[in-house]
């Protein structure tokens, strides 16, 4: 597959999540400082965001910095925070021009003030984007978000999945409501979720690649999406032909949210914790 990747056959409106792993190791194998890998990875973000928009992806969520990543050397963390700020300033006009709405999810009370200002400015500038929703997870921990959301529900008499999801979004600065993740991609060769979108990935298809994030290209995204479309997603049900035409008889219907088919997921075939020392980036 060439760089001019084809996204034919990919259903529009999918939610794709990516754990962008391998920046530091990519740089180290070349004898370069780890921050060089992070800079190269920022270039990959630009390419993949553009490719995802061309592919008709509805929501793209990128794992940029986990809450566990604060354990990294202080110099690397400071450099990453500066890189985030610079990337927001550089890419916000591109997002506006391409109709991409940008949101940053995760905690903000531990981020530098300058970065928080840059985040607020980018979110405000891109609020009108309708072609794709780009979400970037910074200082994010799914388990911590789940605990905080559960704590915020103590005053409610009744808590259902929808009410809980709204609380979960609120504690992560995620205004509105993102659909469940359809496909989670992880680069860099590791095969784990690393405390990323645990609620949203209840029924996500998982795709792992050995390619380091700086080397990840549109062709790799197309390959992952092609694999996704070939998979059979039943969400706990069985195929009618496998059940002799029996659709399940009496009983609860297939779940309609959070790990269940969205409006764009009715097809049967065709797709559709925190690590002690995460090695993401």
Tell me which residues are annotated as active site: 21, 69
Q: Which residues of 2-18 are buried (b: 16+ CB within 10 A; e: fewer)?
A: eeebebeebbebbbbbb
- Alpha carbon distance 7, 64 (integer Å): 25
Q: What is the DSSP letter of 158?
A: -
Residue appearing with tokens 């995802």: 52
- Alpha carbon distance 189, 20 (integer Å): 11
- Alpha carbon distance 201, 199 (integer Å): 6
Q: Which of 101, 110, 100, 119 is nearest to 51 (CA)?
A: 100
Contacts of 161 (CB under 8 A, 6+ apart): 257, 258
Four-point Cα dihedral 215, 1, 265, 136, nearest 10:
20
- Quick one: tokens of 126? 């891109």
Q: How many CA atoms lie within 13 A of 135 on its CB side?
A: 28
Is the distance from CB of 263 to CB of 179 less than 8 angstroms?
no
- Quick one: tokens of 103? 């949101």
- Alpha carbon distance 243, 192 (integer Å): 33
């Amino acid at each position: 597959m060439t760089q001019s990747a084809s996204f034919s056959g990919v259903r529009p409106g999918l939610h794709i999540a990516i754990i962008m792993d391998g920046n530091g190791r990519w740089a180290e194998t070349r004898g370069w400082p780890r921050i060089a890998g992070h800079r190269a990875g920022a270039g990959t973000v630009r390419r993949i965001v553009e490719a995802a928009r061309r592919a008709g992806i509805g929501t793209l969520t990128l794992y940029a910095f986990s809450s566990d990543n604060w354990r990294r050397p202080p110099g690397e963390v400071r450099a990453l925070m500066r890189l985030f700020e610079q990337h927001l300033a550089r890419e916000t006009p591109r997002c506006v021009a391409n109709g991409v709405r940008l949101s940053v999810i995760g905690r903000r009370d531990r981020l530098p003030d300058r970065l928080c200002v840059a985040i607020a400015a980018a979110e405000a500038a891109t609020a009108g984007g309708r072609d794709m929703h780009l979400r970037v997870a910074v200082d994010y921990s799914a388990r911590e978000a789940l605990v905080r959301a559960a704590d915020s529900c103590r005053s409610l008499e009744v808590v259902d999945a929808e009410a809980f999801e709204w609380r979960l979004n609120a504690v992560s600065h995620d205004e509105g409501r993102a659909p469940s993740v359809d496909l989670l991609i992880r680069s860099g060769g590791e095969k784990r979720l690393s405390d990323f979108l645990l609620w949203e990935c209840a029924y996500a298809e998982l795709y792992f690649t050995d390619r380091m994030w700086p080397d990840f290209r549109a062709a790799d995204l197309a390959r992952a999406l092609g694999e996704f479309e070939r998979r059979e997603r039943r969400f706990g049900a069985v195929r009618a032909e496998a059940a002799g035409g029996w659709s399940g008889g009496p009983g609860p219907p297939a779940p309609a949210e959070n790990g269940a088919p969205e409006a764009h997921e009715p097809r049967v075939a065709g797709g559709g914790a925190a690590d002690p020392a995460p090695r993401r980036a």
